[in-house]
Structure formats: structure tokens, C-alpha cells
Chain A
Amino acid sequence: MPPPSSTVSLPAGSQAPLPDGFERVRLHIVTGKGGTGKTTVAAALAAALAARGKRVLLAEVEGRQGISQTFDVPPLPHTETQVAATSGRGEVVGLSVDAKTALLEYLQLFYKLGRAGGVLERFGAIDFATTIAPGVRDLLLVGRVYEAMRRRADARHHRRSDAPYDFDAVVLDAPPTGRIGRFLSVGAEVADLARMGPIHSQADSITEMLQSEATAVHLVTLLEEMPVQETVDAVAELRSLGMPIGAVVINQARAGLLTDADEGLVTPTDLDPEGVAADLRAVGLDPAPALVDGLVSQVREHAERVELEDEQLTVLEASGLPLVTVPYLVDGVDANAVCEIGELLADQGMVPA
């Protein structure tokens, strides 16, 4: 079936070696401080997986419509909708997870509720569960991802089903680092509140999935002090919660300006204004002092930035986690740039074959 016109078509992708254990990962949870570009990275990862023939679910849980905006397709409904496709099996299916819809689906799937679902809604029970009851909202959001992870192509959820998984991979555009620990530990927390019964066992299964080797939490950061600090804090928190951590994605990295045979890219710290003026004159430009001084100080500021970024890079390297770098894109990010970033992630070993 040809993809509908509202979806993005993806190029075929190449392959790079993976860090240990990455080939077993089916659930990629992408978090990061606000403003670091975690939605872009999640979308890029999904696109790169799809480019390698995978059927991928890309889910968001904060109702921001970040996925549809990133792929430049119409706003996503609360049901699974194709947003990008290759010529083969590969596709990205988008989902804006909504707690209320997830609860009604859940009740139907596991309790065959029929019209009781509607009655619950009329009595305000659904509103209570999704807005007031502690943790239930987060549990429903994670639970919806859990359901998609377990679903087989024959629409069953049994471990013993022979059918292949409906989704080869799931990418979750998760809440930001400040909230990620609480979000992912909701299973344990709810299992505590409901000490037995169906909710307890469901919550336990969710925790089990999140802590398994099929899951990796990736952290997106900029090479600035605050996001790096939050990343380091989140890594510590996630480790203490027993969540498997994947890669740290350094987004919008600045590079040095000149290629040096020994040191790679370097930036000159102090240009000689007279030399610059002479060079400008040599190519027929007016070496006005404002221009010359401006050029010199722009280079100096850039060098300072790069130096600060190097310091932050050292902090991240100390974590021992695989680091993946995405350069700064001056033109901003559109659907094509998402695919381009996806290939950069794959080139650096973030995408299982």
C-alpha cells in the first residue's frame, strides 16, 4: 500500500557497529532537559530505525503535538497513525498518548467492559483516575507503551504467541529529565499503593519491562552547564532506579573552525586585527574598524564557547556512557533534517540493524 500523502518518505539507511547490548533494545526512551531537542532526537531515531526496515511506534505523552510538528504532518489523533514510510516494511507510526483514551482502551482490552466504560465516564470516574488519582495518569501513559511493546502481529498479547511483534521498535518521547525518574518509577509506586490485585500485577509487569535489556533510556543534552548537570543527575537517578541507560546524545554541538592535522578542529583564540584588515583589503573589502574588531571578537567568543563546551564534554565523558554527537543546524530542523540527524545517530552506532 503506498503511504498516504501526509506522510514523509524515508531513504534507505546504512549500518555502524553498536555498543554492547544495543541490538537487544526494542524500547528507546528519549529524555533531556527542556529545550535540548529531545523530540527531534526521538523522531530522528525513529526515522533511522524505519529506514532500516523496522516498523516503529513513535509515542509522545505530553500532548504537545511535537511529533506531527517535527514531521510536518497534520496533528496526531489519540490513535496510531502513520507519519513516515519507506518503500518496504519500514514505517514510523505516530501516537499522541492520551491518558483518558488509554484508560478506556485498557478497560476494554483487559476487562471487556463494554458499556461500563461509558458509565464510568459519566460518573466522573475516568476524570478522577486521569487527573486526580496519584500516579494513575503516568501509569496509563507508560502502560499504553507497554501494550504496544507486547502486542503481536496477530493482535494478541501473550508471550507464547508465535506471531512476530506488531512493532519492531518503540521510541518514546518521554517527559524531561526533571520528571523522568518519577515517570519511569510509576509502576513501582503504584504497585506499592495497590498491594495486590490486577493493578498491582500490571504495574509490576511494566516495571519489569522498563528494567529489562529490551529498554534503553537515552539522554539528550547541550554542551552547557545546566543541561549537562541535569543529565548527570538524571543518570545517577535512573541508575539508582535500575533503569538501563543507553546513549547520551549531545545536540547542537559547536565545532572548532580550522582543521589541524594533529588536533582535529581548532579555533584561533586571538586574531591579529591588522592581519585581518590586510586580508580584507587584499580581497577588495573595506577594512572598517567596526568590521575588523567585530570579526576578531566573534572568533574570540566562539573560541570561548568551544572551550566551555570541551569542559562540559569532559564531564559527560566521566559518565562512561556512549556519547553521540549531533552538530548545530543553523537552518533549524525540518522533516528532512530529522532524517539527516537519524543517519548521524546510526553512523554513531545508536540504531540496531
Chain B
Amino acid sequence: MTASSTRAPRTPRSLDVDALLADRHTRIVVCCGSGGVGKTTTAAALGLRAAEQGRRVVVLTIDPARRLAQSLGLVELDNTPRAVAGIDTAGGGHLDAMMLDMKRTFDEVVLAHASRETAEQILANPFYQAVSSSFAGTQEYMAMEKLGQLRAQADRAELGWDLIVVDTPPSRSALDFLDAPKRLGSFLDGRFIRLISAPAKAGGRAGLKLVNVGIGLVTKTLDTVLGAQMLRDVQTFVNALDSMFGGFRERADHTYALLKDRGTAFVVVAAPERDALREASYFVARLAKDGMPLAGLVVNRMQPAPAPGLTASRARAVAEQLADADRLETSAALTLHAALSDLAARHRNLVRRFTAGHPSIPVVEVAALAQDVHDVAGLREVGHRLAAT
């Protein structure tokens, strides 16, 4: 261990959710974390709490559970923010919510950046259709594209938003969008795109003059592996996209800058499980590497402190005694108490281990709810627990 272990352990800082939401400089909150930790619920609860405290909020969800979506009035996936009913607007706030339509967002990008003729060509290309609806990673890019759009609208529109809360796709690749500008850039400047677009531009494969053995080898291989028809589709697609790549990259750069901005706050969401907290560490490291502003960690589903004044081991011993005396119900209650005490201790230890490794990261623990959240009242309760530390 380092010298710091000789000092008294610092109390981990707690994440002040209300201060974060009340700060008018906070314009974007991005929730990220592994799947199944309550990320969408956290995003929606943060949005609701901010709205009821007077902010004009839009929540962008990626793939909400059906009943949660219904509670937000999201009955169809139409890519348009809609007002959420049942909100306390006394403070002048407002809450809109929307669900991301990946394909439609991609189509809009194409339409915005290409001439009408090129756009139609791209939209009709079978390769594009597959990219826009199924390419692993499209969801991440389009979530960020949509965020950029919402942010631009927020500044323009009269009744715009002063806070955007974004949910991210449930995978480690959720942070792939951080690589988007670089990846698009290297792709654009890459030799491959010039290589593959060359034959089509010159009106067919005959137009490709072999400038070196490498290119010959590559095209021959591509032809063998892909087949002539697929190679043609790829060429048409790459050519058509080439004309709009500049705009594409500019937008990716812009969104990247927006994420790094001080008005943005990343919130990493986790559950008190080894895997989820390990993923949280990964997210924290990834965000730090890119200099992204991290507000803190939310740990959902914490086992609340058990009934006071009785340790797990004592409860177990007494439970046995009572079972022998045929006091089965009280015995069972004590066995349960012992199990819950152990679970609460395990959860606390897992979080403590995380904070020991990341002492500067503010943490907020949210006690597990007895039921799934699927209405505004449930979200309000989650928001209350988020702010209750």
C-alpha cells in the first residue's frame, strides 16, 4: 500500500443530486452503466425531479421497459419529445420525454447532409438499410446525434429545454460514441475508403489502375470474399456517403466537445454487485481518459439497513433456540434478519471497495424498492431517494 494508507480514511463524498439539478449551468446529464442496473429509471427519475424543481427538461431514453415507457406517455417510438402528464409544474418546470428511433435519426442525418439525389441513393442502398437498422454501434452514434439535435433545439426554441437527461444503450459499447470522431476521421482519411471508392468513381473495376501490388491484392481478396455484387453495393454506399462524411465528422466533433463541456455531467449508474461495480470502474476510467466531466456514481438496489440492535450471528443462534422451542414464526423472522444483515453488509462492502479505489468520486446509494417502477409516483419516490443522502 502507499503512504496514504497510514492516514485516517477519508469519508467518501456523497453526490448531491439536488445541487447538481438546481445548478443552471448543468445543461446535460448523461446516465451510463451496465445493463440491468436501473439506468433508464434513474434517468427518468432525475428528469422528473429536476422538472418538479422548476427546470424545463427533456429525457431521451434508448430502450425503456414497456411499462416505464407507458408511464412517461411514450406509447409509440416516433422520435419526437412529448410532454409527460401528472407532473407538478408549480415551480414553472416542464418534462418532455422521447424514445430514440435509431433508423429515423440516421435517415434525418443523411437528408440533412446530402443533396436530395444523393440522399435518395443512400436511403435506397441495401447496405445503408442494414447499417442504419442493425449495425452494432449505430444506436450509440444515433443517441449522441439526437443529443446534439436536442441541444441545438434547446438553444433555439422559445419553449426549449434548459436540461437534457440522456440514457445510454445498455452495453459496454455505450461509450463507443466517445471514439466516434476519431473513428470517422481515420476512416475518412484512410486508404481503404479511397481504394474502395476508386473503381466505382472511374466507372467500374476496369478504371482501377494498379498503382501497387498491395491494392491489387486487396481488391482481388475483396472480390473473392465478398463477391462482385456485394462489392458493388459496398462501393455505391461508400461513394454516396463520402460526399456527406465531412458534415458527419463535424457533427461528431461538435457532440464530443459538447460532452466535454462543463455544462455536461456524467452519472455512472451501478448495482451493488461485483460485475456491475467493475463495469462502473471501467466507465469511470474511460470517462477520465477522455476528460469527460463525471458528477458521480449512483448505486441502485442497496439493501436497506436491517432492524437495529441484533447482529446476524446472534440472530442465527437465537433462531435455532426458538426453532427448538417450536416458536417457528419468530425463528424464521430471525433467520431472515440474519440473511438481510449479511446482504446489507455485503452491499456496503462492495461500495466501500469501490470508493477506496476511487476516493474522489461522489457516491449516492439508493435503497432497493419493493416493486418495479412504472408510474410517475414511483419515479418521484426514486428521485426522492436519490436526493436523500
Contacts and interface: CB of A to CB of B under 8 A. Distances in A.
A60 to B, nearest CB: 12
B352 interface: no
B192 A128 contact: yes
Contact of A119 (B173, B218, B325, B343): B218
A198 B230 CA distance: 11
Interface of chain B, helix or strand or loop or mixed?
A: helix
A55 interface: no
B322 to A, nearest CB: 6
A238 B265 CA distance: 38
Given A194-B226, A197-B226, A197-B229, A134 B135 contact: yes
B366 to A, nearest CB: 15
A236 interface: no
User: Range of interface residues on chain B?
Assistant: 35 or more
Contacts of B276: 35
Contact of B218 (A116, A138, A176, A179): A116
A124 interface: yes
Contact of B230 (A124, A199, A257): A199
Contacts of B162: none
B369 to A, nearest CB: 11
Interface string B319-337: 0011001011110111111
B131 interface: yes
B214 interface: yes
A225 B372 contact: yes
Interface string A179-199: 100100010010011111111
A293 interface: yes
Contacts of A298: 306-307, 333, 336-337, 340
B218 A271 contact: no
A316 to B, nearest CB: 16
Interface-centre pick from A124, A127, A199 (highest chain B CB count, 10 A): A124
A3 interface: no
Interface stretch (B29-37, B92-100, B110-118): B29-37
A132 B135 contact: yes
Contacts of B285: none
B310 A182 contact: no
Contacts of B67: 225-226, 229
Nearest to A308: B371
Interface of A: 33-36, 39, 62-64, 66, 69, 107, 111, 113, 116, 119-120, 122-125, 127-128, 131-135, 137-138, 175-176, 178-179, 182, 186, 189, 192-200, 224-227, 229-230, 257-258, 267-268, 271, 275-276, 279-280, 282-283, 285-286, 288, 290-291, 293-299, 301-302, 304-305, 308, 330-333
Given A33-B35, A127-B192, A282-B322, 5 more contacts: A69-B274, A119-B214, A127-B190, A193-B130, A332-B273
Interface of B: 34-37, 63, 65-68, 126-127, 130-131, 134-137, 170-173, 183, 186-187, 190-193, 195-196, 214-215, 217-218, 220-222, 224-230, 233-234, 271, 273-276, 278-279, 306-310, 314, 318, 321-322, 325, 327-330, 332-337, 339-340, 342-343, 346, 370-372, 374
